[in-house]
Amino acid sequence: MTPVLRRRILFAALYFSEGAPIGFLWWALPTRLRAAGVELSDITALLAALALPWAFKFLAAPFIDILRTPRWPLRAWIASCQIAMGLCLVPALVLDWRADFATIAALLLVHAIAAAGQDAAVDAYALAIVAPDQRGAINASMQAGVLTGRALFGGGALLLEARIGPNATIALLIGAVWASLAMLLIAGEAEPARPPASFAARRREFQSALADVLRLRSTWLVLGFAAIGGAGFESVGLLVGPYLLDRGVSQDQIGAFLFLPTVVAMMAGAGAAGWFADRLDRRRVAGGAVVLIAIVIFTLAMLPSAAMWGTFALLTTIYFLIGVLTTTSYALFMDLTDRRLGATQLSAAMSATNLCESWSGLTSGRLAAALGYGPAFTWMALASLLALPLLWMMPKARSS
């Protein structure tokens, strides 16, 4: 097995362990809650709260950059976070999700914090060992892993839970979180060694690099684009379950749609972007994806309620374009990241995308409750177009 292929499999596995719990919380849980009669505003408020650890993971990322040593490398950070993620889910096997909801919500929040820490360490690990001209392909592998996890424990969980029960589903989820640990230990590569230095010296180096990065205009352009560029597709993604349910689609049909068509579409989009993003100007690929997503969302908002085949076709197209946009933009973020701040700067960009997920989900939920799904989707798609000037002002990616 070539080193490039081994890396792609490794990062696909690491992102799979991130995507599995995200799929359960973001895809399966909203549909289940809506089926139980929970209001849209309450559902999106819960999801917005669970997204906050990812939105603010950049606050923990400096500790990863400063405290990383030859004896405690990035792989140690990843492994410890994965262990914590699984342990937080174990009590859910014996607790009652209705009667012990407050306890479970607290555990899910701790789980989200550990998952956000893992995410920051994995991204820094990728930046440390992957060459610039391979970042598009690596991000495509990451998207394939995270989407597979989302499919199996998002739409798949809706199909499985009625057949094997909620406890078995949670047990499988814990196994998925821990599955990549073995891969990390067996196939994980050591990142480039850092020169031995005291904590004070590492802190001064970090502060110097941070000051350099904060003076760059590209830093703020990346954060702005990440915070608003995905508003359109995030609103559709978070509300797709309740949206289809309110249009008369059964929970099993929604589960089947989220389990296979959406994930296949996003994988196809990620694969296409992985090829193009390593050969073309990534700014143009990302900008084109933002515009096309907005156009498809506008069409979806105007579609009659009876046109269900058209609805599914448009949603599938949106998911394909999500794969294109996320893969390309993440590779672009890597290109514009200072290696000295691998965890901190890249996590800040990724946190901004999670912040986008949080605010757009909360806003679209309230808009949908007040105005309906169509106007909510339309306004969020318009908001995403505001990110285009920020993208055009970014410097050309070094590897493009």
Exposed / middle / buried, residue 385 (Cβ in 10 Å: 0-12, 13-18, 19+): middle
User: Would you say the C-alpha torsion 52, 53, 54, 55 has a positive or negative sign?
Assistant: positive
DSSP state for residue 39 in the 8-state scheme:
-
What is the block-wise mean pLDDT of the chain (400 residues), using blocks of 10 residues?
A: 82 87 77 68 74 77 78 87 91 77 80 86 84 79 83 77 74 85 78 67 80 87 94 90 87 81 87 76 90 96 82 94 90 81 77 85 88 94 96 70
Angle at which helices 231-246 and 308-335 pack, to 10 degrees? 150
Is there a domain that residue 207 lies in?
yes
Residues 6+ apart with CB under 8 A from 77: 64, 68, 117, 118, 121
* 233-to-194, 247, 356, 388 alpha-carbon distances in Å: 40, 19, 10, 15
**Is residue 330 within 8 Å of residue 269, measured between CB atoms?**
no
Residue labelled with tokens 């990451």:
142
Is there a domain that residue 289 lies in?
yes
Of 30, 52, 51, 55, which is closest to residue 41 (Cα–Cα)? 30
pLDDT at position 163 is 74
Is there a domain that residue 399 lies in?
no
Exposed / middle / buried, residue 274 (Cβ in 10 Å: 0-12, 13-18, 19+): buried
pLDDT at position 331 is 84
Q: Kindly state the tokens that stand for 308.
A: 């269900």
Is there a domain that residue 314 lies in?
yes
Give the CATH number, domain containing residue 99: 1.20.1250.20
Residues 6+ apart with CB under 8 A from 164: none
**Is residue 77 within 8 Å of residue 137, measured between CB atoms?**
no
* Coil/strand/helix, residue 325: helix
Is there a domain that residue 397 lies in?
no
Is there a domain that residue 398 lies in?
no
pLDDT at position 399 is 43
Calpha distance 312→292 (Å, rounded): 17
Q: Kindly state the tokens that stand for 245.
A: 């349910």
**Is residue 373 within 8 Å of residue 311, measured between CB atoms?**
no
Give this prediction's pTM. Answer: 0.69
Is there a domain that residue 345 lies in?
yes
Per residue in 325-349, is it b (16+ CB within 10 Å) or e — as a string?
A: bbbbbbbbbbbbbbebbbbbbbbbb
Number of domains comprising the chain: 1
Calpha distance 363→235 (Å, rounded): 8
Of 328, 354, 326, 363, which is closest to residue 115 (Cα–Cα)? 354
Is there a domain that residue 34 lies in?
yes
pLDDT at position 294 is 97
Calpha distance 39→22 (Å, rounded): 21
Of 104, 106, 110, 61, which is closest to residue 83 (Cα–Cα)? 110
Q: What is the extent of the structural domain holding 365?
A: 3-392
DSSP state for residue 394 in the 8-state scheme:
S
Q: Kindly state the tokens that stand for 249.
A: 């689609």
Calpha distance 358→42 (Å, rounded): 13
**Is residue 320 within 8 Å of residue 288, measured between CB atoms?**
no
Give the helix ranges, DSSP H, for the chain: 3-23, 29-35, 40-55, 61-67, 74-89, 101-129, 135-153, 155-164, 166-187, 199-214, 217-228, 231-246, 251-259, 261-277, 282-302, 308-335, 342-371, 373-385, 388-392
